[in-house]
Amino acid sequence: MRRWFRRKKEKEEESLTESGSPAPAEAEAGPEGEAQVPGPEEAAPLPEAPEPPPAEAAPEQPSVPREEEAVAPEKEVTEERRPGFFRRLFRGEEEAPPPPPEPGEPQAQAEAAPEPGLTPTHEAEALPETGESVETELPSAHEEPPTEAVPPEEEALEAEEPEALEEVPVARRGLFKRFRDRLRRSREALAGGLDRLFLGRKEVDAELLEELEELLITADLGVDTTLRLVEGLQDRLKRRELGDVEKLKAALAEEMLSLLQTPAAAEIAARPRVVLMVGVNGVGKTTTIAKLAHQERVQGRTVLLIAGDTFRAAAAEQLEIWGERVGAEVIRQKAGADPAAVVFDGLAAALARDVDTVFIDTAGRLHTKVNLMEELKKVYRTAGKKLPGAPHEVFLVLDATTGQNALSQARLFHEAVGITGIILTKMDGTAKGGVALAVAHETGLPLRYLGLGEGLEDLRPFDAEAFVAAILGG
């Protein structure tokens, strides 16, 4: 410290000498070579306390590089600021220690802002030891303030609420969409014809109903079914309930629904439940059995399949392949065996293995062949002898592409074994979907399933509202 004061004193005396003060050299060295202190009239009095020189006049203080300035926030974050004596002396009050941060305020916000040349990304790279990124604390000037983020829990709740409210309508719309997609050809034949018929018509009259009658007959609804529908529309017209073509279309949909309203299937408590499958050649009985067995397996029931078709080549092998796919056992005998004997052994195995559902496959036969229909009656009686009350259901499989020929098949099979439900297959490949209305109206038998494709999931329970909406384009 003394050495510094001497230097300071010498510099002040030199400055006084240059400015024209009296004999500074003589004041420094006397006759004996010793330093002499000037008198009060020769030199300006020294201040009681030395004034700190400006920051740029201190040669001993090196300039701080940019890297060290960038690191300065790290020192302020990691350790407490301790300004020393030399720092106060050379810089005076220029850098006062910052006030302590208020409670609850982050320490990074209480520090000085970075230089304009440093971006938040550079500061994050310059502070690797803190373990925190400065990007969210120190945004750049051109960036917009961040929006308030929504917690992920609230986003999940907002996303789930509409789904929960629309769960049932979405499932319903999915069913309508499936019917519309798979019944496209029938819809084009019927709904397209209605659009062309109603085009430009504003009023409903008797002439319009006659043209509608012709259209329904050509759409394979059948004569009797068409007359029944038109009679209902004529009664509404007399009561002046059909003001325009839109009301006529809505009334036609209501009349169709009334024809399809058949009694619901009775619940069967017997175990095992035995289902006999009948139909002519090539309608898809074996594939339909596999689809029904798949539905039973999905619901957790055990299934047994009986290969009662002993005439068609590879019929039993085909049923075994389907049985492996759906997880159902198959009872079969050699080719040419008596179908009634196969059914008898199959029901005995079902009782022994305590299964839930049994499906009996039969050979396809024309409804006009009397001897084959008698054989089917024998199979029906044998099942009842082995298991009283069996078969509990008899499903007639009809090919929708056959049109009005399906009506005669349904009548004769119903007379032989008593049909309890009808399954219409190949509905996706025909424009004759109106045959479903004719079958339900003229036979009085309920439609149980519609085959809409070749996959295991393409056998759907019949829904009258969805069906009418699909073929009318609703």
| pLDDT recorded at residue 2 | 65
Q: Report the candidate in 245, 226, 233, 332 with the shortest Cα–Cα distance to residue 286.
A: 332
Ordered by start, the domain boundaries in the chain are 52-109, 179-260, 273-472
Which 3 state secondary structure label does DSSP give 64? Answer: coil
Tell me the sheet residues that pair with 423: 397, 449
Gap between the Cα atoms of 236 and 243, Å rounded: 10
| pLDDT recorded at residue 268 | 86
Q: Note whether 67 and 122 are within 8 A (CB).
A: no
Gap between the Cα atoms of 178 and 193, Å rounded: 22
User: What per-residue string of b and e applies to 14-41 under the rule 16 or more CB within 10 Å gives b?
Assistant: eebbeeeeeebeebbeeeeeeeeebeee
| pLDDT recorded at residue 19 | 55
Alpha helices for 261-404 (secondary structure H): 285-298, 315-326, 339-353, 370-386
| pLDDT recorded at residue 23 | 43
Gap between the Cα atoms of 307 and 326, Å rounded: 15
**What kind and span of H or E run contains 2?**
helix 2-18
CB-facing half-sphere around the CA of 460: CA atoms within 13 A: 19
CB-facing half-sphere around the CA of 157: CA atoms within 13 A: 4
Q: Report the candidate in 302, 304, 384, 371 with the shortest Cα–Cα distance to residue 340.
A: 384
Rounded-to-10 torsion of CA 428, 252, 224, 413:
40
Residue with tokens 């925190």: 132
Gap between the Cα atoms of 368 and 68, Å rounded: 104
Gap between the Cα atoms of 42 and 27, Å rounded: 9
Each residue's pLDDT expressed in tens, for the chain with a length of 474 residues:
667 777 777 777 776 665 554 444 443 444 444 444 444 444 444 444 445 444 444 444 444 444 444 444 444 444 444 555 555 555 544 444 555 555 444 444 444 444 444 444 444 344 444 444 444 444 444 444 444 444 444 444 333 333 333 344 555 556 567 667 888 888 888 888 999 998 888 888 889 999 999 999 988 888 999 999 999 999 999 998 888 888 999 999 999 999 998 777 778 888 999 999 999 998 999 999 999 999 999 999 999 999 999 988 789 999 999 999 999 999 999 988 999 999 999 999 999 999 999 999 999 988 778 888 999 999 999 999 999 999 999 999 999 888 788 888 998 999 999 999 999 999 888 777 888 999 999 888 999 999 998 889 899 999 999 899 888 876
CA distances from 401 to 10, 159, 221, 387 (A): 121, 45, 13, 36
Q: Report the candidate in 413, 415, 420 with the shortest Cα–Cα distance to residue 445.
A: 420
Gap between the Cα atoms of 320 and 275, Å rounded: 18
The two structure tokens encoding residue 260: 């399809």
Report the CATH number of the 179-260 domain.
Answer: 1.20.120.140
CATH architecture assignment, domain 273-472 = 3-Layer(aba) Sandwich (3.40)
Total-model pTM? 0.63
Q: Report the candidate in 145, 220, 197 with the shortest Cα–Cα distance to residue 399.
A: 220
Q: Report the candidate in 341, 357, 349, 354 with the shortest Cα–Cα distance to residue 308.
A: 341
**What kind and span of H or E run contains 397?**
strand 393-399
